[in-house]
Structure 1
Amino acid sequence: MSSATIRRAFLDHVFYTQGKLPGHASGNDLYQALAHTVRDRLVQRWISTAEAYQSQPSRTVAYLSAEFLMGPHLGNNLVNLGIVEAVRGAMATLNLDLDHILAQEEEPGLGNGGLGRLAACFMDSLATLEIPALGYGIRYEYGIFHQSIIDGMQVESTDTWLRNGNPWEIQRSEWAVEVRLGGHTEHYTDDRGRYRVRWVPAKTVVGVPFDSPILGYRVNTVNTLRLWRAEATEAFDFHTFNRGDYLGAVNKKVTSENLTKVLYPNDETQQGKELRLEQQYFFVACSLQDMLRLLATQGLPVTRFHEKFTVQLNDTHPAVGIAELMRLLIDDHGLAWDEAWHITRRAFAYTNHTLLPEALEQWPLPLFQRILPRHLEIIYEINARFLDEVRIRFYGDESRLARLSLISEHGERHVRMAHLACVGSHTINGVAELHSRLMREDVLKDLYEMWPEKFTSITNGVTPRRWLALANPRLTRLVSEAIGDGWIKDLGQIRALEPYADDPSFRERWQAVRRENKQDLARLVRDATGVVVDPNSMFDVMVKRIHEYKRQHLAVLHIIALYHRIKSDPHADVQPRTFLFAGKAAPGYHYAKLMIRFVTSVAGVVNRDPQVRDRLKVVFLPNFNVTHGQKIYPAADLSEQISLAGKEASGTGNMKFAMNGAITIGTMDGANIELRDAIGADNFFPFGLNASEVYALKAAGYHPSTYYDSSPELRAVVDLIQHGFFSKGDAAVFRPLFDGLLQHDPYLLMADFASYLHCQQQVSAAYGDPERWQRMSVLSSARSGQFSSDRAIEQYCKRVWHAQAVPVCLLHRSSGQVQGARRAEADGIGTFSERCGGSGS
């Protein structure tokens, strides 16, 4: 791990792996060489981890997620190995800049936002806490699209993250599995007189695993992220080629590989829906077969599947896995229904991530039957047995049967995946206290009344390794100098920073760090957009997926209100602000794309108005991703968390901002409530209706136009939009937006507008008092400890998974320790951890 050793290994990889002399190496060559140098130092730990898990009867967490938004690997692995400075020194001796090399990494965009980023944080925490775990997902060839802003509008292009290769993954072709799709079923009686079902597929594809090492912080544990790529059973048809049908010769390869070609294909078309369902089934089918292979490797019968594996469904995307495990146990392994159901229900747990009914996945019955005919039969049987339980439990309540059925009977019939996930799981959790309560009282109310003991709440968290130690090295050094570096592994220790909030000298150093971070972000904004922003202004930031319920357009209404004040009175007391927006809208979500155009159109007017531009700047930073997040979160002054109360399940951006010292303005929604309670009401700016008030207002009959009629400031803001002031006189451009606000306003912008503006005035007053703001900033970080993903994983282990830590002994191939450890285990000479001294070192 010394600088000298790293330097030699790096030069070897430049020469032998990249085939270059150092003087001729490109930026990518240097990155690839350093990545392989670091990966070499992970492999020993990776193999040692596999040996430890093989040797001990540990329970393994299988985390099934359609998204893993991991972010760049190199910097995170340097932090977790504790060799950032050693590597920086090694590169400096070669006149190379480590930061420049880190910037060469293509970020794997294998997620859309919070769901995939949460999965990444959980993988980091599982390894740090030494919990045996496998992450299972899809190796999308093209990730979330690359976003450009052209003429103020989002334009999507292909995200070619694999164009330069991926040095972190290892292809495991020997563990490939076959996955069937389509076709029909045949029912028969076997030679023992048992009723059986045979699935005759229309096509078969091959799932090939690609493994990436996930290292814990300052431990030997390296868990595995296993992503599946689809391939054809026969990639090239030689006879078809010889007949002159050159396209037909590779047709199977093309159609098979489409399965894992792109993240979340647009499902507005029938073909898109089919591909999306096939994707979801493909990766859970591969993953469950892999788990059964691992079970057999350890000599365990399938009847012990639920003892060896605890399978977590990260939202409903992998919920078809419940039907798939039943199929594998019954059809392939010959288990009786009751035994298979006993195993399945004890293996699966389900995390619900949404309060939006339209986001609870449902599949049209004809489509589901066409792609997964055997699984639909199994779901019918699960449903029939489940509804028998409901009839007994809620005698005479026929309407409840319809509400609880796994098959929706209203209009076109659908398979309800959230219901399948709940029925087939032993535990169901929400991701914040409010979300869990609303899930019990509303979204999954009937299921909660059926099984109240199944439901629990585990608030999300984020890893302090990436979102503080890596993203904010200046603040990391300052905090570690004050209280030591134990907080990086145990974020609860950051509470020791609290007394420093009253230390003027420390606050001054804190502010100096924040100013440097703001200067870094200002450079990024200038390079990406051409807009020059003032680091002395308040950085008012809203970065997240673009969605109506997240209410980016409410923040824009505030900007227009400030603009109107300055134009009406040039001497108006308006605190200088830079408003920074970033986020992607789903390609088929036209209203969200209009919201982006709304932001950029307002920016175009505000930024070129000489009367305003030195007091207000508005920026939309394109292509928001983890890399950009690592620059944005440490530089934000104000964190905008303004979703309509009762709509955001949790949020994790709010936690990243708070850890880095930003102050939050937010509704009482999702984890905002717990954040306010943790950091103190004096250090949080709440506004707007709470969830109960939202429900009451909608129930009483909500009329947004009454707010427009009664508020001169709101009326002035909306009229500017209606008259085309921000759209070059074209009143039609934003007509869908303001018509929606005045006539429907499903997310109550009109109702919350006055409260939001009043709260923003309080924010300006606080920012105008530097000592107060700095103190709030320090306390925001110091009291953020409970929002670590480590805490969340500890709660999952205790309440849901019943998984234990397994310390990893570092094995050395040269000493024969691997073989010796195996022989000792076979001879019964102590447990693996005893042979390692129980230290994991």
Structure 2
Amino acid sequence: MDLSKRKFKEDFKKMLTEVYSMDISESESTEQFFTLGNLLRSYSSKNWSRTNQQYIEKQKKQAYYFSMEFLLGRMLKSNLLNLGILDTVRNGLQDFGIDLEQLITIEPDPGLGNGGLGRLAACFIDSMATSEIPAHGNGIRFKYGLFKQKFVNGYQVELPENWLQNGNVWETRKMHAAVTVRFYGKVWLEQNAAGVLEPHYSDTQDVLAVPYDSAVIGYDNSTVNTLRLWSAEIPPKDDITDYWSYIHQRNQIESISEVLYPDDSNYEGRLLRLKQEYFFVSAGIQSILRHYKKMHLHMNHLAEKVAIHINDTHPALCVPELMRLLLDEEHMDWDHAWNVTVNVMSYTNHTIMSEALEKWPIDMIRSLLPRIDQIICEIDRRFTMKMSTLFESALVERTRIVEGGNVKMAHLAIIGSHSVNGVAQLHTTILKEKVLHDFFLIYPSKFNNKTNGIAQRRWLMLANEPLRDLIQRKIGNEWETTPTELNMLKAFRDDKDTLHELAQIKQLNKERFAEYIKQTMNLEINTDAIFDVQIKRLHAYKRQLLNLLHILSLYFKIKDDPQADIQPRVFIFGAKAAPSYTYAKQIIKLINSVADLINQDRELENKLKIVFVENYGVSLAEKIIPAADVSEQISLASKEASGTSNMKLMLNGAITLATLDGANVEIRDRVGDQNIMIFGLRENEVYQYYRDGSYHSRNYYERNPVLHRILDALIDGTIPGAEAEGHSIFDSLVQYGDEYFVLRDFDSYAAVQERIDHLYRDTLKWQRMALINIAGAGIFSSDYTVQQYASQIWDVSSKVHPL
């Protein structure tokens, strides 16, 4: 966008007057933020309208990315960057005495995601617009999002995160595009005059789905796609006879779009989650078909103009819902409708964890979604009948959708899609060879890999401007839209001036983060220490416990010998645990108790500190990642589908400490063994243990004196305030088999950590490793990932060709 500073200042003053009827001298940060947001919306509106119009006029095939989560982060700075006016606006505001960085903090982080899944979706929609791919996001406008995490006496407490309290400047309510979603009631089929079965409904609960659209602005181009989020509302009523009954019904309906991932430890919570999944699926597909009809094409051609992507199993009901609409509303016969549905749908699997492969009781679906139940059962019947002629009965039974009184959502998504992809090479291999092997035997051509990626614009150009400036001086700016150009940085791996400057940038970022921690946690941290970072969802398989056991080993080493030659460390954690995941919450409490023990011990002389930030999210990640020296990617091999924090951290020059899990394998291949720290069991070794049952964690406790002392500390009172949690975790590791092989991998992990301790002392060598990681990170751009989706799965056009 071509915008002078003078024109921006004129526009800003005019917008402030129009919206708030005040002068700049009278305004405060909140008015200034909303004024700037409204101004950016006006700047992008013409391109947004033009983009949508071109898609219709040229009858472009469009993709729709259905995701329960979109972890967007703050959008102000990102929109300024993508419009190409970041520096212009920053300088113009400075003339008014306004600090852009201060305005950025006014915007709340939308709580629309939990971790990597939601952030991946956010990176994808950014990259789709940047790559000029006609593709849009579809999700739920959660009023409270996930939850605001607070630590009270070390325990996680969940509070509502009302991110919409002051409104969302980026969204537009589209009441004219609202649709009705039906729940409950009775449904039956009757033949019409033409002899065709038609469904009839009674006693349904109707919910009004109202869309809120936000512009997704492409970087350095004129493409503006759409993120459509749905809000649940009670339909307008003119005949309210019982006011309190009406209020109760309204609250019930509005709860559908209130909280991301309600507590599913009870029936009511699971029912609400199922409601949420059908709500945004049905609303989204109804909206898509309405848009498709504007092209005046027959429904038989839907797959030529529409691609629907199922991001994880949450939107798997896309399959029966599209069938419902084609059968019941468009009067297609079953075979034609099924052919269209399969060719429209594609599915990404994000996990091999059995508990994350959703299953819903068939009785719950039958009660809540009676017509969808009929269609799912018919899909299952026809699949079983067809496959029984081709494969042995045992395999067919294992791949059925309806089994044991449950509907298996991953099975529904696989059977109802033309493409099934994993998100890293290792993950896809495990899906094909183990987790989904039966389906791979049936549908070998459906399976493919699309390694995840990240938007380098947010995670480097915005989060780490000093590093961005260094890279631009060294290799220009072509890497901003062709990220593999970062590879040119390798030419400077032996240039001492560049390496020293890289070290200075890292130090600056560490000092900024240290200042933030001092202000928010009243904790002083040593910026000359190694900043060792593990930021991700709290789950046992991600093994924050392994990290903590090593920290305790260092603590005891220093306590035994205060003169021990140990490089100072600051261990940084950021993680939320699901409200019903008791074990994960116990780990949080234990980490915080160890942090209290270590951070208050003056004898350690600043050699060791633990920082566990509250309410970890995108904006906190943008502070932590540029400051990181070490990237902890220590999940048990075979458990992490991909990981994306590994990519963000390497892009910012952190050295990856990792098992060969998920995308860590591909990072290793990219940077070489000498520039990554690999430890622990390999995937084949983990599965060998599963086969022969030969792992006995108690042996490691009894035979390893270092581990013995550490584990005893969990139960002997060494760690004040976590006695119950310590005993529970001790038992999980020693008595109950150590499900994720923490004790088995401890020695290997500790040895690599000691190697890091020595390597870090050689500044030039460490920065050379950091530079090679930055140079190798370009291949992990989400730009390339979505270009592969577009060309290989969705068959939609892009002005950029994939690698």
TM-score exceeds 0.5: yes
Task: Give the alignment partner of residue 802 of structure 1, picking from 773, 791, 795.
Answer: 795
Cα deviation, 1:616-644, whole Å, max 9, x if unaligned, reads: 00110101110011111111000000000
Report the alpha carbon displacement of residue 39 of structure 1 after superposing the two structures with TM: 1.3
* 2:681 matches 1:689: yes
* Structure-2 separation of matches of 1:806 and 1:193: 48
In the other structure, the counterpart of 2:508 is 516
Task: Give the alignment partner of residue 252 of structure 1, picking from 244, 249, 254.
Answer: 249
* Structure-2 separation of matches of 1:586 and 1:87: 40
Q: How does 1:8-407 map to 2 (within 5 A)?
A: 8-234=10-236, 238-241=240-243, 247-394=244-391, 397-407=392-402
1:234, 1:253 within 8 Å by CA — same for their partners in 2? no
* Structure-2 separation of matches of 1:437 and 1:348: 22
Report the alpha carbon displacement of residue 299 of structure 1 after superposing the two structures with TM: 1.5
Report the alpha carbon displacement of residue 134 of structure 1 after superposing the two structures with TM: 1.6
- Structure 2 unaligned spans of 5+: none
Report the alpha carbon displacement of residue 126 of structure 1 after superposing the two structures with TM: 0.4
Residues 714, 235 of structure 1: CA spacing in aligned structure 2 closer, same or farther, 3 A cutoff?
farther
* Structure-1 separation of matches of 2:203 and 2:350: 33
* Structure-2 separation of matches of 1:522 and 1:707: 37
In the other structure, the counterpart of 1:726 is 719
Give the aligned residue type for 1:471. A
* 2:781 matches 1:784: no
Report the alpha carbon displacement of residue 198 of structure 1 after superposing the two structures with TM: 2.5
Q: How does 1:246-645 map to 2 (within 5 A)?
A: 247-394=244-391, 397-409=392-404, 413-645=405-637
Give the aligned residue type for 2:252. T
Cα deviation, 1:451-499, whole Å, max 9, x if unaligned, reads: 1010000100000110111111110011001101111111111111111
Cα deviation, 1:28-47, whole Å, max 9, x if unaligned, reads: 11110111111111111101
Give the TM-score of the pair, scaled to structure 1: 0.93
1:460, 1:787 within 8 Å by CA — same for their partners in 2? yes
Cα deviation, 1:86-140, whole Å, max 9, x if unaligned, reads: 0011101101111111111111110111111000000011000101012100001
Q: Secondary structure at the match of 1:572?
A: coil
1:236, 1:250 within 8 Å by CA — same for their partners in 2? no
* Structure-2 separation of matches of 1:115 and 1:33: 32
Report the alpha carbon displacement of residue 732 of structure 1 after superposing the two structures with TM: 3.1
1:607, 1:613 within 8 Å by CA — same for their partners in 2? no
Residues 731, 283 of structure 1: CA spacing in aligned structure 2 closer, same or farther, 3 A cutoff?
closer
1:53, 1:806 within 8 Å by CA — same for their partners in 2? no
Bigger Cα displacement from structure 2, 215-224 vs 99-108: 99-108
Report the alpha carbon displacement of residue 401 of structure 1 after superposing the two structures with TM: 2.4
* Structure-2 separation of matches of 1:556 and 1:211: 43
* Structure-1 separation of matches of 2:197 and 2:159: 51
**Root mean square deviation, CA, Å:** 1.2
* Structure-1 separation of matches of 2:273 and 2:799: 37
Give the aligned residue type for 1:498. K
In the other structure, the counterpart of 1:648 is 640
Give the aligned residue type for 2:796. A
1:355, 1:439 within 8 Å by CA — same for their partners in 2? yes
2:148, 2:161 within 8 Å by CA — same for their partners in 1? yes
1:62, 1:312 within 8 Å by CA — same for their partners in 2? yes
Report the alpha carbon displacement of residue 528 of structure 1 after superposing the two structures with TM: 2.1
1:137, 1:226 within 8 Å by CA — same for their partners in 2? yes
Residues 643, 162 of structure 1: CA spacing in aligned structure 2 closer, same or farther, 3 A cutoff?
same
Give the TM-score of the pair, scaled to structure 2: 0.98
Cα deviation, 1:70-98, whole Å, max 9, x if unaligned, reads: 11111001111111110011101101111
Report the alpha carbon displacement of residue 408 of structure 1 after superposing the two structures with TM: 1.8
* Structure-1 separation of matches of 2:119 and 2:294: 32
Report the alpha carbon displacement of residue 251 of structure 1 after superposing the two structures with TM: 2.9
Report the alpha carbon displacement of residue 249 of structure 1 after superposing the two structures with TM: 3.9
Q: Secondary structure at the match of 2:144?
A: coil
Report the alpha carbon displacement of residue 304 of structure 1 after superposing the two structures with TM: 1.6
* Structure-2 separation of matches of 1:511 and 1:254: 55
* Structure-2 separation of matches of 1:251 and 1:568: 63
Report the alpha carbon displacement of residue 806 of structure 1 after superposing the two structures with TM: 6.1
1:236, 1:249 within 8 Å by CA — same for their partners in 2? no
Report the alpha carbon displacement of residue 613 of structure 1 after superposing the two structures with TM: 4.4
In the other structure, the counterpart of 1:811 is none
* Structure-2 separation of matches of 1:724 and 1:585: 25
* Structure-2 separation of matches of 1:806 and 1:712: 60
* Structure-2 separation of matches of 1:595 and 1:668: 24
Give the aligned residue type for 2:779. Q
Report the alpha carbon displacement of residue 237 of structure 1 after superposing the two structures with TM: 5.5
Give the aligned residue type for 1:126. M
* Structure-1 separation of matches of 2:435 and 2:747: 30
Cα deviation, 1:659-679, whole Å, max 9, x if unaligned, reads: 010000000000000011111
* Structure-1 separation of matches of 2:416 and 2:690: 34
Moved over 6 A (4+): none
Report the alpha carbon displacement of residue 236 of structure 1 after superposing the two structures with TM: 7.3
In the other structure, the counterpart of 1:244 is none
* 2:650 matches 1:658: yes
1:206, 1:230 within 8 Å by CA — same for their partners in 2? yes
Report the alpha carbon displacement of residue 238 of structure 1 after superposing the two structures with TM: 4.5
Q: Secondary structure at the match of 1:783?
A: helix
Cα deviation, 1:571-601, whole Å, max 9, x if unaligned, reads: 2221100000011111111111111111111
* Structure-2 separation of matches of 1:714 and 1:515: 34
- Structure 1 unaligned spans of 5+: 242-246, 808-841
2:589, 2:725 within 8 Å by CA — same for their partners in 1? no
Report the alpha carbon displacement of residue 202 of structure 1 after superposing the two structures with TM: 2.1
Residues 731, 112 of structure 1: CA spacing in aligned structure 2 closer, same or farther, 3 A cutoff?
closer
* Structure-2 separation of matches of 1:92 and 1:567: 51
Q: Secondary structure at the match of 1:252?
A: helix
* Structure-1 separation of matches of 2:17 and 2:539: 48
Task: Give the alignment partner of residue 671 of structure 2, picking from 679, 683, 699.
Answer: 679
Report the alpha carbon displacement of residue 283 of structure 1 after superposing the two structures with TM: 0.4
Report the alpha carbon displacement of residue 385 of structure 1 after superposing the two structures with TM: 1.1
* Structure-2 separation of matches of 1:664 and 1:300: 51
2:187, 2:199 within 8 Å by CA — same for their partners in 1? yes
Bigger Cα displacement from structure 2, 598-607 vs 6-15: 6-15
Q: How does 1:715-794 map to 2 (within 5 A)?
A: 715-728=708-721, 731-743=723-735, 744-794=737-787
Bigger Cα displacement from structure 2, 342-351 vs 33-42: 33-42
1:295, 1:301 within 8 Å by CA — same for their partners in 2? no
Give the aligned residue type for 1:705. R
Cα deviation, 1:760-809, whole Å, max 9, x if unaligned, reads: 011111101111101001111011111000110111122111110269xx
Q: Secondary structure at the match of 2:168?
A: coil
2:572, 2:610 within 8 Å by CA — same for their partners in 1? yes
* Structure-1 separation of matches of 2:450 and 2:507: 35
Q: Secondary structure at the match of 1:647?
A: coil
1:234, 1:252 within 8 Å by CA — same for their partners in 2? no
Residues 462, 421 of structure 1: CA spacing in aligned structure 2 closer, same or farther, 3 A cutoff?
same
How many positions carry a matched residue from both structures? 796
* Structure-2 separation of matches of 1:249 and 1:18: 36
* Structure-1 separation of matches of 2:374 and 2:724: 50
* Structure-2 separation of matches of 1:263 and 1:680: 40
